[in-house]
Structure 1
Amino acid sequence: MSLKPRMASPVALVPDLADPLQALGRALFASAEQSGIPKGTLFLVYLRVSQINGDSVCVELHSRNAQQAGVTPERVMAVAGWRDSARFTEAERAALALGEVMARIADRPDPVPDEIYREAERHYAGQALATLIAGIATANLYNRLNVATRQVAAAN
């Protein structure tokens, strides 16, 4: 496979798409702040979703953003194996589990099992849960745009 994008990002090519998507991101982080979701938690979930979806651009972006939000490098590196790591809180585990099932909705007859939803709901109620769900959906949107067009993470 070539490390060259198939085309420029659809976000750059579709007229009037970038501004609404940036506004969506700002709204999600404002809602997260209002509802008590740490930025680091969102970035860890976005990172895990991006790992599952194979989006190297977002994996790098969310790894950097998580660290800038105060997540230790050890926790960033451990997110792919969060189930077997003591580095994550119960609330983070619930968010990561929800992110994983939402990234893989076609893989099971019950795409978001009740036990995963209820555990997320136990830690994130009302606006917080809605923010988490909308954020995961947005991460999936970006992943699909980047993967379909083979966007490439910048070489350092």
Structure 2
Amino acid sequence: MSRFSVPKHFKSFKPLMDLSAQIHASSLEGPLRELVLMRVSQMNGCAYCLDMHSKDALAAGETSQRLFVLPAWREATFYSERERAALAWAEALTRLDGAIPVTDALYEEASKQFSEDELVMLTLLVTMINSWNRLNIAAHTPSGTYQPGKSW
């Protein structure tokens, strides 16, 4: 059962929605964004966000294989260098306990794949999905009913 209704408090969440719109309007490609949203949501255990972003990714043409193997992206051969850099950056920014440190080497690798503006947008994307994960986990937002293209 949901603790509080995210849709009911939509106005309160408008800053996150505006940030999402800004990120989606950036030069970060949609498939890469969805992989990052999925991976961070996996790390945080947010069932609602995993339901949403897996459906959005599939609707946008992502393959089931790449979504199923995402937790083991380091061992898989079918993620691009850009995607790998984004996933490594996202994991480090999500695990703030130091288990995956944000090292100079990690920053340098990300900087090879992303312009400064893109890296800022990628950082904001990770920040945003971490916030949504925490909100939906706190609210006990039920998963399973999300449909791509439908808004609250």
Q: TM-score range by the shorter chain?
A: 0.7 to 0.9
| 2:85 is aligned with 1:94 | yes
**Secondary structure in 1 aligned to 2:115?**
coil
1:121 is displaced (CA, Å) by 1.2
- Name the amino acid aligned to 1:126: E
**Secondary structure in 1 aligned to 2:102?**
coil
Q: Provide the residue aligned with 2:129 in structure 1.
A: 139
Q: Provide the residue aligned with 1:25 in structure 2.
A: 20
Alignment TM-score, normalising by the size of structure 1: 0.84
Match of 1:41 among 23, 32, 42: 32
Match of 1:75 among 50, 66, 80: 66
Match of 1:53 among 44, 51, 70: 44
Q: Provide the residue aligned with 2:149 in structure 1.
A: none
Which contiguous aligned blocks of 4+ residues in structure 1 show a shift greater than 4 angstroms?
Answer: none
1:140 is displaced (CA, Å) by 0.3
| 2:142 is aligned with 1:152 | yes
**Secondary structure in 1 aligned to 2:7?**
helix
**CA RMSD for the aligned pairs?**
1.9
- Name the amino acid aligned to 1:22: M
Unaligned runs of 5+ in 1: none
Alignment TM-score, normalising by the size of structure 2: 0.86
CA distance in 1, matches of 2:75, 2:137: 28
| 2:107 is aligned with 1:117 | yes
CA distance in 1, matches of 2:8, 2:97: 29
CA distance in 1, matches of 2:7, 2:97: 28
- Name the amino acid aligned to 1:18: F
1:151 is displaced (CA, Å) by 2.1
Unaligned runs of 5+ in 2: 147-152
Count of residue pairs the alignment pairs up = 146
More helix by share: 1
Match of 1:8 among 4, 10, 13: 4
CA distance in 1, matches of 2:10, 2:143: 23
